[in-house]
Amino acid sequence: MKRVFSGVQPTGNIHIGNYLGALKQFVELQEDGDCIYCIVDMHSITLPQDPKELKTSILDVAALYMAIGLDPNKCTIFIQSDVSGHAELAWILMCNSYTGELSRMTQFKQKSKDEASAPAGLFTYPVLMAADILLYDTDIVPVGNDQKQHIELTRDIAQRINNTYGETFVVPDGRFLKEGARIMALDDPTVKMSKSSKNIHSRISLLDSPNKIKKSIMRSTTDSEGSIRFDASEKPGISNLLTIYSAFSGRRIEDLETEYSSAGYGAFKKDLVDVVCEELLPIQERFHEIRPSQELLNALKDGAERAENIAEKTMKRVKMRFGLGL
Ligand code: ATP
Ligand code: LTN
Choose the weakest-confidence range: 66-75, 93-102, 111-120, 153-162: 111-120
Higher pLDDT, 114 or 240: 240
Ligand 2 atom having least distance to the Cα of 150:
1
Residues 213 and 154 in one domain: no
Inter-residue contact 172 to 134 (CB < 8 Å): yes
Residues 282 and 299 in one domain: no
Band of residue 3 on the pLDDT scale cut at 50, 70, 90: very high
Note whether residue 195 is domain-resident.
Answer: no
From 16, 18, 152, 195, mutation site for ligand 1 pocket: most ligand atoms within 8 A of C-beta:
18
Note whether residue 193 is domain-resident.
Answer: no
Rounded CA gap, 54 and 106, in Å?
A: 25
The range of the structural domain enclosing residue 140 comes to: 3-181+294-322
The catalytic site residues sit at 111, 192, 195
Average pLDDT over residues 211-225: 96
Ligand 2 centroid from CA 216, angstroms: 27
Say which residues have a Cβ less than 8 Å from residue 142's Cβ, sequence separation at least 6. 4, 6, 22, 25, 26, 29, 174, 175, 176
Ligand 2 centroid from CA 190, angstroms: 22
Note whether residue 189 is domain-resident.
Answer: no
Q: What is the CATH number of the domain that holds 261?
A: 1.10.240.10
Q: Is the pLDDT reported for residue 4 higher than 70?
A: yes
DSSP 8-state secondary structure symbol assigned to residue 169: S
Residues 91 and 239 in one domain: no
pLDDT tens figures, 258-272 = 999 999 999 999 999
CA 179 to chain centre: 15
Residues 59 and 168 in one domain: yes
Residues 307 and 260 in one domain: no
Residues 217 and 82 in one domain: no
pTM of the model: 0.92
* H helix runs in 135-199, sequence order: 148-165
Look at ligand 2, atom 5, and give the residue with the nearest C-alpha: 7
- Number of domains, the chain: 2
Task: Tell me, using a 6 A CB cutoff, whether residue 6 lines ligand 2.
Answer: yes
Q: What is the CATH number of the domain that holds 103?
A: 3.40.50.620
Per cent of the chain over pLDDT 70 is 98
Residues 173 and 308 in one domain: yes
Q: What is the pLDDT of residue 75?
A: 98
Look at ligand 2, atom 1, and give the residue with the nearest C-alpha: 129
Q: Is the pLDDT reported for residue 195 higher than 90?
A: no
Inter-residue contact 90 to 108 (CB < 8 Å): no
Q: What is the pLDDT of residue 145?
A: 82
Q: What is the pLDDT of residue 179?
A: 55
Q: Is the pLDDT reported for residue 133 higher than 80?
A: yes
Note whether residue 134 is domain-resident.
Answer: yes
Residues 170 and 238 in one domain: no
